[in-house]
Amino acid sequence: MSSSLTSSTSDAPKIRRVALMGSRAVGKSSMVVRYVHDVFNDSYFPTIEETFTKQLTFHGQVYEVEIIDTAGQDEFSIFNGRHALDVHGYVLVYSVTSKQSFDMVTIIRDKILNFTGTDWAPIVLVGNKTDLQGQRQVSREEGDELASKWKCLSCETSAKKNSNIGRAFELMLAEMEKSTDAVPEDKKGECLIL
């Protein structure tokens, strides 16, 4: 965790809600469990939906971040509108070992934008499972290229090795604050950005 996340402040916490979305078994639950409880489990238990909360300090502001760990999606999943109306941003996760899961994040983003009627949303693109280097199907460059096309931030992580997990959520806060900065002062804190 970076020092910017650990310094203290007396400000009241800002609530920020984040939805973690992506194909099945890319490691969404493992990322959030690593982030909130700092543990990793090799077993796979498919998620229905679960919400985690973590308090942290970022750029001198205390945040209470609610992370919605959604069920894995496929091209036939119906986009849950509640995730568009009720969240400030999205972490779209693929596995660097699965080209199919990389293709799926584009489908999910399209569904988000279709639902919200916007051409941009606060998204952080995350390629997980970097510890499985020998099984890579998606290069770092392909991830960077997609993120730059989407004008969003991105990183690669390993929930197993606890690599870059804190950074992924830190980038999410940065992305959300960038978009709330564009919202008039009296509207800040409301979920108007989507």
Ligand X SMILES: Nc1nc2c(ncn2[C@@H]2O[C@H](COP(=O)(O)OP(=O)(O)OP(=O)(O)O)[C@@H](O)[C@H]2O)c(=O)[nH]1
**136 versus 178: smaller Cβ distance to ligand X:** 136
**Considering only residues 3, 46, 76, 184, which one is a binding residue for ligand X as defined by CB under 6 A?**
46
CB 31 within 8 A of CB 37: no
How far is CA 58 from each of CA 2, 21, 38, rounded to the nearest angstrom? 9, 23, 19
Place of tokens 């920020």: 16
**14 versus 167: smaller Cβ distance to ligand X:** 167
Distance from first CA to last CA of the chain, Å, rounded? 28
C-alpha–C-alpha distance, residues 190 and 47, integer Å: 28
CB 181 within 8 A of CB 156: no
CB of 35 to ligand X, least distance (A): 12
Q: Does 83 bind ligand X (CB under 6 A)?
A: no
Q: Does 47 bind ligand X (CB under 6 A)?
A: yes
- Site size toward ligand X (CB under 6 A) is 22
Q: Does 158 bind ligand X (CB under 6 A)?
A: yes
Looking at 6-14, 52-60, 123-131, 138-146, which segment touches ligand X (CB under 6 A)? Answer: 123-131
Q: Does 72 bind ligand X (CB under 6 A)?
A: yes
Backbone angles phi, psi at 158, to 5 degrees: -135, 115
Interacting residues toward ligand X by CB under 6 A:
24-30, 41-44, 46-47, 71-72, 128-129, 131-132, 158-160
